[in-house]
Amino acid sequence: MGIGLAILILGMLLTNGAFLALAVPPILFSCFSAIQSMQLRLPVLNIERTVNRHRMIEGEEVKVTVDVSSTFGTTGRYFISVIDTLPGGAQLVDGENQFLGPFVQGQSAQFSYRVVLPRGKHVFKEFVVTGWSRWGLASRMESVAHESIVIAHPKTDPVGAITIRPRRTRAFAGPVKANQGGQGLDFFGCRSYVPGDDIRRVNWRAYARQDTLIVNEYELERLADVNVIVDARLQAHCRLGAETTFDHSLRAAGSLASHFLRVGNIVGLLVYGDLVHWVFPGVGKRQERKILDALATSYAADKEVFEDLRKVPTRLFPAQSQLVFISPLTDEDDVEVIALLIDQGYSILLVCPHATTWEAEQIGPTPSAQLATRMANLRRSLFLDSLVRTGTRIVNWDVSEPLALAIERDLGVSFFRRHV
Amino acid sequence: MKWILAILLATAALLLMLPALLIGSVLYVLAVPIFTAAAFFVMHKWPHSKSSNVSLIVLALLSVAALFIGIHPLFPVISLMLAIYAWNAAHRFGHLDHARVEEEAKRQFVIHVLTFSFLPSLAIGLFLIAFLYVRVSLPFGLALGLSIAALLSVALFMGVVRIARNRED
């Protein structure tokens, strides 16, 4: 309309009929469009989205089916488009996420598609419905809100048996050696018989040698508190193409939390970075889902308050319990904080993800790259060696290899067989 | 979709270029394809953007410039009309870029746009222009040509409608 009016005014100023004729097409087009826009009414649509699952593992496909129907409304025939807007990061792999075609009252239509979703909480928010007038000069677009949520958990891999030895355990039977004599499977020691002891536990050979009743003791197996702490400080992680070491850390956290829950421990989660995201400790499948949900929505952040590990809220963790720390360790301060936690009585299993191999491959086999790789490895070795001396158990994990392999290598398979 | 847009804009450009060439306005002849190509690119790539609207304004300015350099008014008028239809068609076809859609549905949509939007509008527009110029002493040959073009457009429209209906049945 603006174009037409401008040409019309120009024609009137110049008193030239040709300009007036030139103004006719845009003005007519605008007028007809305006009239048709006023008359255009979209049909009342019922749109339903069905998602075949609401929880999945990152990188897996989810099938979405959309049903479009119109039970009442205007009786006209429309050409409509219904677009199901995809959440950010979703990749359409199969099918169509748009219906496009003529639509009349009472008609129904269905379309379905498959998307691959990355880790995170994905919200399918709305449908965008567009209808066109019969002569195509006017269109109307509306958004129809319909929310479906799909949570893509980080990919977890089964890890081998991991032995943990926290100083304090719970009173209930569980999988962790409590370092106390009592009922169990593994031999712990001998002591003098006291009335009430089970006669089957009497060590008859010791009795024969010493002429006093001696009973065998077995190591108690108890439930333990395990808290997984994920370092989500942006400065601690590096980018590996489309991913970061933080993504690998979350996968490791998911794998370890699932493992400890499966063997029967009480497991909690703390993501330390932006805010303190804490999942209260618990047991069972439900707790596993809670932890994986929290990991799915976690992100690395750069907050001045949490720039070092000193602010880790140890009050959340039971005294002398087991902590599983997943951190790439940025500097000596981080090493010191972990040593302090050991001093406070916590047992610590440190998983230290790094991407030195990946970075070296990206740079290429130049002498300077080889030197840089060597320096990075030496620096990390220094940190880790100083922690080993404090009693920290360490998994030095190159993210290009499976976590299970790193655990088996660094924690020792013979150790597992002896204690698990 | 791309070719419909290309045909409309190329015809619009030719309608401006050929008379300008006869007049001998070389600068204008050079400017028209450049601006039209740019408009085509913008309308095709970002049909729902403000840049697309700006492209239409640029094409309108080319038509206005044609009047200033002395081209017969008939040519810029039809050229502007074609540019408006191209802009409208690009706007409609742009809805196919937001999501993945079935090929058959896409084809039906293009037929729908052609039969219910572009061709009837073009026919009515040409009739109107013919009428306008007959009333303002249009040369006989030109009026005859316009009328024949309009009739052909209507015939083509009817044919496409019939084909589309047969396919829907």
The predicted-structure confidence for A126-137, as pLDDT tens digits, reads as follows 898 888 877 667
Looking only at the bridges linking them, the beta strands covering A266-272 and A225-231 are parallel
- Structure confidence at residue A149 (pLDDT): 93
Q: Any CB–CB contact under 8 A between B111 and chain A?
A: no
What CA–CA distance (Å, rounded) separates A325 from A13? 79
pLDDT digits over B104-121, tens only?
Answer: 888 878 877 777 766 666
- Contact B117/A at CB under 8 A: yes
A54-58, A114-118, A170-174, B110-114, range with the lowest pLDDT: A170-174
C-beta of residue A129 within 8 angstroms of C-beta of residue A145: no
Q: How far apart are CA A409 and CA A3, in angstroms?
A: 74
Domain ranges within chain A, ordered by starting residue? 2-39, 46-153, 177-222, 225-419
- What's the domain range around B10? 2-168
DSSP A25-67: HHHHHHHHHHHHHHH------EEEEEES-SEEETT-EEEEEEE
Q: What does pTM read for this prediction? A: 0.74
Options 3.40.720.10, 1.10.3210.10, 1.10.520.10, 2.60.40.10; CATH of A46-153: 2.60.40.10
- Mean per-residue pLDDT, A117-125: 92
Whose CA is closest to A222, among A335, A345, A318, A116? A318
**pLDDT tens, position by position, A30-53:** 877 777 777 777 777 889 999 999
pLDDT at A117: 92
Please indicate whether, in this complex, the C-beta atoms of A136 and B88 are within 8 angstroms of each other. yes
ipTM of the complex: 0.72
Residues A82 and A127 sit within 8 Å (Cβ to Cβ) = yes
Other beta carbons within 10 Å of A128: 17
> Tokens for A240?
């590996």
Q: Which residues of A touch B98 (CB under 8 A)?
A: 83, 98, 128
Cβ A45 vs Cβ A82: under 8 Å: yes
Q: Supply the DSSP symbol for A311.
A: G
Residues A261-296: b if buried by 16+ CB within 10 A, e if exposed: bebbbbbbbbbbbbeebbbebebeeebbebbbebbb
B105 lies within 8 A of chain A by CB: yes
**Nearest residue to A28 via CA among B48, B20, B128:** B128
Judging contacts by C-beta atoms under 8 Å, the chain B residues touching residue A79 are 109, 112, 116
Q: So what's the pLDDT on residue A412?
A: 67
**Residue of B4, B16, B52, B63 to mutate when probing chain A, most A C-beta within 10 A:** B63
**CB within 8 Å: A83 and B98:** yes
More confident residue, A271 or A356: A271
Q: Give the residue from B119, B2, B19, B8 showing the smallest Cα distance to B74.
A: B19
Q: How many distinct structural domains can be found in chain B? A: 1
CATH 1.25.40 matches A225-419: no
Sign of the C-alpha dihedral computed for residues A110, B48, A9 and B69 taken in this order: negative
Q: Count of A–B CB contacts within 8 Å?
A: 104
Cα A95 from Cα A118, distance rounded (Å): 19
Rounded to the nearest angstrom, the minimum Cα separation between B77 and chain A is 5
Contact B81 A25 (CB under 8 A): yes
